[in-house]
């Protein structure tokens, strides 16, 4: 074997080792990205607020309605709730620590409903977590990408634009 053949053999071996290293580096990169996504999903599941609303008593006309709220998830930094009971719509803001026990809150009357409801029902339940993400808690805890636009659309649909405002929900994202 002369020196030219040795150089070619070393080049081939080097190329094979480089290919082998590239294959394993790609596999390691994919694995680390997958692990990062799983960790992000676990973190999101831990920090996402999951408020649960219960109506405690029938409302009196033009009087605040009492509801019981429990947070089964992460810290609820800011939230908004709109409920309908009989002829009235009620609205209020929420803040709750993570995994909090049920507590009773009073929701103030916002305006008369356009249609009577036989049973009290929640029309809007929105929550902001510690990461600044905003969630639609009535629609399977879906992430809201543009909270001001989404909330304006919801309030327009409920005919409450200008009557109800949730500044903590539509404020600037934290983090």
Tens digit of pLDDT for each residue in 17-69?
999 999 999 999 999 999 999 888 887 777 788 888 999 887 787 789 999 99
Quote the strand ranges of the chain, DSSP E. Answer: 51-55, 65-71, 76-96, 100-128, 134-136, 142-144
If pLDDT is split at 50, 70 and 90, which confidence band does 172 have?
A: low
Gap between the Cα atoms of 99 and 36, Å rounded: 25
Share of residues in the chain with pLDDT > 70 (%): 98
Work out the burial of residue 164: count CB atoms within 10 Å of its CB; fewer than 13 is exposed, 13-18 middle, 19 or more buried. Answer: buried
If pLDDT is split at 50, 70 and 90, which confidence band does 175 have?
A: very low
Global pTM exceeds 0.85 = no
Place of tokens 């600037």: 172
DSSP code string of 4-16: HHHHHHHHHHHHH
**Has residue 101 got a pLDDT over 80?**
yes
How confident is the model over 66-92, as a mean pLDDT?
90
């Amino acid at each position: 074997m002369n020196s030219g053949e040795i150089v070619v053999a070393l080049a081939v071996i080097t190329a094979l080792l480089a290919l082998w290293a590239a294959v394993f580096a790609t596999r390691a990169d994919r694995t680390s990205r997958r692990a990062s996504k799983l960790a992000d999903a676990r973190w999101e599941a831990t920090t996402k607020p999951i408020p649960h609303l219960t109506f405690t008593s029938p409302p009196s006309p033009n009087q605040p309605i009492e509801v019981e709220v429990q947070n089964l998830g992460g810290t609820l930094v800011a939230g908004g709730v709109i409920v309908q009971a009989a002829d009235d719509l009620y609205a209020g803001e929420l803040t709750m620590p993570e995994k909090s026990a049920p507590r009773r809150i009073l929701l103030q009357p916002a305006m008369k409903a356009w249609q009577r409801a036989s049973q009290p029902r929640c029309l809007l339940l929105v929550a902001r977590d510690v990461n600044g993400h905003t969630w639609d808690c009535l629609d399977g805890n879906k992430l809201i990408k543009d909270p001001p636009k989404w909330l304006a659309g919801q309030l327009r649909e409920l005919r409450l634009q200008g009557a109800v405002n949730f500044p903590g929900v539509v404020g600037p994202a934290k983090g």
